Amino acid sequence: MAGRSKVKRSSNNRKEPLLPETQQNVKASRESRRTDKCGACGRFLLHLIPVLGCLFILATLLLLASTRKITEASISTCLADYEPKVDVLVLIFVGATFMYIATVMRNIQINVYHRRQRSENKCMWTLNLIAAFANCIAYVGFCLLAIYDLDGPGNAPTIHLVGAYMYFSLSSLYGLLHAVLLCAQRQYPIWCKFIFLIMPLGIIASTIYYVQNMEGEDAAYEYEWLAVALAAILVGMMPILFCCDPCDDELFDFFCCANKRGNRSRRSRQGTRTGVSREKEIQLT
């Protein structure tokens, strides 16, 4: 019997949430741990998505910085001068795609947290949705400023500036809203909240300083590069939050549409059961 209990304990190797569970959902959480849908490999891949998004954006900055010093040229100038431009665009598009996915993952985790703690309300849900939407649109702007050069023909300079304003304003907004949402999650550690509060403040401070000193011989171009790097690192550190409060099964259900398939299978089973019971009633009558 002791050997069997050890085997059962070792087989159940899913990481449990660090957050306290209420008595009402203890049974449900135990059942979910028995049926771990994601697995160790899937969990690793999910946690790797934000890191990959961060690394692709940072790789783009390193590639652009290899042509000129960051203290002498802005990102826009380096994008316009870099050849072949396809190399940079591929890095930016792939990085932005991972950023979209990571933003959606964090949005789901926040909703799952409030559902577990029974603290759901429309204000938090709306704030979470606005934050996720802002970060996704921010990286749409990043793609626009990469496609259209500042010194390009026609409306290219205008579209480039619109993309730049979209990126810097909305990425800063996302950082602030995310910090507010994280502070509302009381069970998370203080050091974690401190890190994710310092990062958006650094993004905003770097952006404001660059805008005030973006012209002239002493232009602070390096602060523009710093703001973009900090925005990427902010998303890249999200695996810390996923380790504090795992929601792997919920993410798996969302990306694989497992809930929809499960509901359809349940409905089909219920339909067959009702059909069989009706046939039995007809035969008895």
Q: What is the pLDDT of residue 277?
A: 54
Please give the Cα distance from 126 to 128 (Å, whole number).
5
Angle formed at CA 190 by CA 188 and CA 195, multiple of 5 degrees: 100
Q: What is the pLDDT of residue 6?
A: 46
Please give the Cα distance from 53 to 233 (Å, whole number).
9
Please give the Cα distance from 207 to 226 (Å, whole number).
9
Summarize pLDDT for 147-204 with one digit per residue, the tens.
998 888 889 999 999 999 999 999 999 999 999 999 988 888 999 999 999 999 999 9
- Answer for the pair 200, 183: CB distance below 8 angstroms, yes or no: no
Amino acid at 165: Y
- The residue with greater pLDDT, 40 or 101, is 101
Average predicted confidence (pLDDT) for the chain = 81
Q: What is the pLDDT of residue 139?
A: 96
Please give the Cα distance from 169 to 236 (Å, whole number).
19
Summarize pLDDT for 70-82 with one digit per residue, the tens.
988 999 999 988 9
By C-alpha distance, which of 62, 58, 74 is closest to 207? Answer: 74
pTM for this prediction: 0.77
